[in-house]
């Protein structure tokens, strides 16, 4: 090697050694990324003295992509580049190389988070729109006149969640100028608003239970304000069934059934043996009798609960309204004071988590207290499954035939009030197990064996008077 060249090489090596020694002697500084352009590969960092320092991707020590995120904490050595300070040997605050995992831990700015939520919303596809995973539903309601106060939502899509079914069993409807009850403004309002409230609440907080509870709260607040302005007395017992396609605790796909109940509606599932499984308890007036009497409600010996009500400006209460349940949306006659025992507080819970395999429940039934006053849960399930099977001579879909059969069977028993309803929802992925169940029931009937063993109903406070 040329002697002069050798001397230059040795001098350069010595200089590098001195530089390395100086770098090691310098302390690492902690900074915060002020801005970083991923495309151009550079940005700026605030040091401890709030001085802005240039940072380039070539100086980032990383096990993956060399990039930083706004707001990220880093450590670095201060160096000079073109007579200006810049960051060298950029690492995590603890001195470890920067990784994508560290980047993910940095809190996203609100704008970025909002864009991400919008992107997920646009990419979302409704699992229940897949034919083999469809939800089939129908609701029957009596009387079939303009005085019917019931409204239903039958499988409306809720973005990012799934599908929702709503039963709004109206009560305390305002009396028109002709002296007749014409529909129910509250149940009509709830049919239109509840799915929207659930979707909006879920966007704010991605929790199905919180979304349902928030929807009930928003509905009660807005309806009561509207009812006071327009002198509506209308109220409604409400049941929400929200079917959600999600991941379970093991990260596996599943279908969750979230229920929200407020009122005396009864909710049962039909299991693989054709037996009823009650998943939500009704809020009957019988259970709250002591509180209602203490609050001044008229409770008869038969158990019916009435209250007299007068609008502002009237000298004395002239109209009596029957209270159907201890919890309602709306119903101004029952909420004339803040201490009233009648509230709009719902019960919300996840009642099932299905893997969509054989052996799981196949049908959801929601029926009114008037039906439950004359039919046990077993009677309701028997009427539904009998109509689903060989007794369906009208060529109706099973879920429609079932809901009609439950209502008509209850009507034939002569309930105290004829405001009857039943919602039937079939999980279509259980169609084959359900048909096998119906076939077994038909075989038992032909052989003279009862399809379902009679079970003595328990006293749950449900009767035709409240």
Return the ∠ at Cα 434 (arms to 238 and 282), rounded to 5°.
25
Does 191 have pLDDT greater than 90? Answer: yes
pLDDT beyond 50 at 199: yes
Domain 127-446 has CATH 3.40.50.300: no
In angstroms, rounded to a whole number, what is the distance separating the alpha carbons of residues 46 and 298?
72
CATH (residue range 3-107)? 2.40.50.140
pTM: 0.73
The ranges assigned to domains in the chain are 3-107, 127-446
- pLDDT digit string, tens, across residues 383-424: 999 999 766 667 899 999 999 999 999 999 999 899 999 999
| CA 242 from centre of chain | 6
In contact, 148 and 183? CB cutoff 8 Å: yes
CB atoms within 10 A of CB 455: 11
Please give the pLDDT value at position 363: 98
The pLDDT score that the predictor gives to residue 24 is 57
267 in Cβ contact with 259 (< 8 Å):
yes
Instruction: Name 174's Cβ contacts closer than 8 Å, sequence gap at least 6.
Output: 181, 185, 231, 232, 233, 234
State the alpha helices, DSSP H only, in 252-388. Answer: 289-294, 369-372, 377-388
Q: Tens of pLDDT along 4-23?
A: 666 666 766 765 665 566 55
Q: How many CA atoms lie within 13 A of 256 on its CB side?
A: 17
| Cβ-contact 148, 370 below 8 angstroms | no
Of the pLDDT bands very low, low, confident and very high (cuts 50, 70, 90), residue 457 is very low
Half-sphere exposure of 321 (CA within 13 A, CB side): 23
């Amino acid at each position: 090697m040329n002697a002069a060249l050798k001397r230059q090489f040795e001098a350069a090596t010595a200089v590098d050694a001195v530089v390395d020694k100086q770098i090691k002697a310098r302390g690492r500084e902690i900074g915060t990324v002020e801005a970083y352009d991923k495309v151009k590969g550079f940005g700026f960092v605030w040091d401890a003295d709030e001085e802005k320092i240039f940072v380039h991707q070539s100086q980032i020590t990383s096990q993956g992509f060399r990039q930083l995120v706004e707001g990220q904490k880093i450590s670095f050595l201060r160096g000079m580049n073109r007579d200006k300070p810049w960051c060298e040997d950029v690492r995590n605050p603890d001195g470890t190389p920067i990784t994508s995992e560290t980047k993910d831990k940095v809190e996203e700015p609100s704008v970025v988070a909002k864009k991400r939520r919008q992107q997920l919303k646009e990419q979302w596809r409704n699992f229940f729109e897949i034919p083999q995973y469809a939800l089939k539903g129908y609701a029957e309601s009596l009387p079939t006149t303009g005085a019917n106060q019931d409204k239903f939502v039958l499988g409306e899509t809720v973005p990012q969640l799934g599908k929702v079914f709503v039963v709004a069993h109206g009560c305390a409807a305002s009396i028109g100028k002709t002296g007749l009850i014409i529909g129910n403004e509250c149940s009509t309002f709830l049919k239109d608003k509840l799915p929207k409230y659930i979707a909006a609440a879920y966007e704010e907080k991605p929790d199905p239970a919180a979304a349902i509870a928030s929807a009930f709260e928003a509905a009660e607040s807005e309806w009561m304000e509207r009812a006071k302005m327009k002198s509506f007395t209308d109220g409604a017992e409400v049941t929400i069934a929200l079917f959600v396609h999600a991941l379970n605790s093991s990260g596996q796909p599943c279908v969750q059934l979230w229920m929200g109940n407020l009122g005396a509606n009864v909710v049962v599932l039909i299991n693989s043996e054709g037996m009823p499984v009650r998943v939500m308890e009704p809020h009957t007036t019988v259970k709250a009798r002591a509180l209602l009497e203490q609050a001044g409600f008229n409770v008869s010996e038969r158990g019916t609960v009435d209250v007299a009500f007068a609008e502002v400006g009237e000298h004395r209460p002239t109209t009596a309204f029957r209270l159907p349940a201890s919890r309602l949306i709306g119903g101004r006659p029952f909420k004339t004071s803040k201490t009233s025992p009648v509230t709009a507080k719902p019960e919300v819970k996840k009642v099932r988590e299905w893997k969509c395999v054989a052996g799981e429940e196949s049908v959801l039934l929601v029926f009114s207290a008037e039906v439950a006053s004359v039919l046990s849960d077993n009677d309701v399930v028997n009427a539904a499954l009998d109509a689903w099977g060989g007794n369906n001579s009208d060529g109706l879909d099973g879920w429609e035939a079932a809901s009609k059969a439950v209502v008509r069977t209850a009507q034939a028993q002569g309930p105290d009030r004829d405001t009857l309803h039943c919602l039937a929802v079939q999980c279509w992925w259980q169609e084959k197990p359900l048909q096998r169940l119906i076939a077994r029931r038909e075989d038992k009937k032909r052989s003279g064996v009862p399809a379902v063993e009679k079970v003595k109903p328990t006293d749950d406070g449900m009767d035709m008077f409240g």
